[in-house]
Amino acid sequence: MPDSDTTDATGAATPTAGRGRLVSGPGLLLVWLYGVMVVGAVSRSAFQISTEFDRAPLAYSLSAVAALAYAFITYSLVRGGEKARKAALICCAAELAGVLAVGTWTVVRPESFPDTTVWSQFGMGYLFIPVILPITGMLWLRKR
């Protein structure tokens, strides 16, 4: 059911009137960056899981989790509306927690990861975008 903040004269909710746009201005850049991360994380994890999962199952599974987080946030930003904004905000916070946890883990105990994940060393292999993106996303979503 679409988000709705307004009603018509009969008291019925108008389906699209309350849906706020999240994909305007800097939000468009966020959607584009999250979309790029979806493609990168999905292709990386799909290839690694299908060809060499037994080598580093934890690392490859974490890359798949990152891909799911990126896809959900991208969808929520494109969908718009207050419920989607709140869901994306919560998912960005969870993503940041994951990046910080996995990043710290890979720095402190690198032997636990025979291969890297999207979030390894705070996303160093992705130009630190995985640690910057959720912070930027949360700031943008809080302003909206």
pLDDT tens, N- to C-terminus, the chain (144 residues): 444 444 445 554 444 444 567 777 778 899 999 999 999 999 999 999 999 999 999 999 999 999 999 999 999 999 989 999 999 999 999 999 999 999 999 999 999 888 888 899 999 988 999 999 999 999 999 876
pTM of the predicted model, to two decimals?
0.80
Question: Using CB atoms within 10 A of its CB, is residue 38 exposed (0-12), middle (13-18) or buried (19+)?
Answer: buried
pLDDT score of 143:
78
Cα separation, 116 vs 124, whole angstroms: 10
Q: What's the one-letter identity of residue 136?
A: T
What pLDDT score does 101 carry?
96
What DSSP string runs through 32-59? Answer: HHHHHHHHHHHHHHHHHHHHHTTT-HHH
Query: Which pair of structure tokens corresponds to residue 71?
Result: 């896809």
Predicted pLDDT of residue 25: 77
**Cα Rg, the chain, nearest whole Å:** 18
The predicted structure's pLDDT at residue 24: 76
**Measured distance CA(119)–CA(59) in Å, rounded:** 9
Picking from 37, 38, 64, the residue whose alpha carbon sits closest to that of residue 50 is: 64
